[in-house]
Structure 1
Amino acid sequence: MKNILEGKTVLIAGAGGIGNGLAKRYAAEGANVVLGDIDVSIAQEAIDAITQSGGKAIATTLDGADEASINAAVSLCLDTFGALDGLHANFAFMADGNPEVGILELPLEIYDETQRVNARGFYLCTRAVLPVMIERGGGSIVYTSSAAGDAGSPAQVAYAMSKSAGHALMRHVARRYGAAGIRANTIAPALTLHSRIEHLVPPEMTEFARAAAAIKARVGRPDDLAAMGALLLSDDGSYITGQVIAIDGGTTMRP
Structure 2
Amino acid sequence: MRGLKGKRIVVAGGATGIGAAAVERLVEEGASVVVGDINVAGAEATAKRASEDGGVAVPVAFDLSDEGSIQALIDRAVSELGGVDGLFNVGADVSDANLGRDLDLLEMDLGVWERTLGVNLVGYALAAKAAIPHILAAGGGAIVNTSSGAGWSGARVRPAYSASKAGVNALTRHIATRWGKEGIRCNGLAPGLVMGETQIRQADKEMQAQAIAAALSPRLGRTSDVAGMAAFLFSDDGEWINGQVWSVCGGMHLRG
TM-score tier after normalising by the smaller chain length: over 0.9
Shift of 1:231: 0.7
Shift of 1:67: 1.5
Q: Which position in structure 1 is the counterpart of 2:81?
A: 81
1:244 counterpart = 2:234:
no
What pairs with 1:1-255 in structure 2 (closer than 5 Å)? 2=1, 4-15=3-14, 16-94=16-94, 95-97=98-100, 101-216=103-218, 218-255=219-256
Structure 2 residues not aligned, in runs of 5+: none
DSSP-derived class of the 2:173 partner: helix
AA paired with 2:133? P
**Distance in 1 separating the partners of 2:115 and 2:214:** 30
**Distance in 2 separating the partners of 1:103 and 1:93:** 19
DSSP-derived class of the 1:197 partner: helix
- Asked whether the equivalents of residues 3 and 235 of structure 2 are also in contact (C-alpha less than 8 Å), the reply is yes
**Distance in 1 separating the partners of 2:90 and 2:243:** 17
Moved more, 60-69 or 172-181: 60-69
DSSP-derived class of the 2:153 partner: coil
Cα RMSD, aligned residues only? 1.3
AA paired with 1:78? V
Shift of 1:72: 1.1
Per-residue displacement from partner, 1:201-252 (whole Å, max 9, x unpaired)?
1011111111100112x10111011110001011111000000100000001
- Asked whether the equivalents of residues 96 and 111 of structure 1 are also in contact (C-alpha less than 8 Å), the reply is no
- Asked whether the equivalents of residues 2 and 237 of structure 2 are also in contact (C-alpha less than 8 Å), the reply is no
**Distance in 1 separating the partners of 2:142 and 2:83:** 13
- Asked whether the equivalents of residues 101 and 109 of structure 2 are also in contact (C-alpha less than 8 Å), the reply is no
**Distance in 2 separating the partners of 1:152 and 1:76:** 38
Structure 1 residues not aligned, in runs of 5+: none
AA paired with 1:109? G
AA paired with 2:128? T
- Asked whether the equivalents of residues 98 and 155 of structure 1 are also in contact (C-alpha less than 8 Å), the reply is no
TM-score by length of structure 1 reads: 0.95
- Asked whether the equivalents of residues 3 and 28 of structure 1 are also in contact (C-alpha less than 8 Å), the reply is no
TM-score by length of structure 2 reads: 0.95
Distance 1:193 1:185, change over 3 A: same
- Asked whether the equivalents of residues 149 and 161 of structure 1 are also in contact (C-alpha less than 8 Å), the reply is yes
AA paired with 2:116? T
Shift of 1:98: 5.7
DSSP-derived class of the 2:197 partner: coil
DSSP-derived class of the 1:175 partner: helix
Shift of 1:130: 0.7
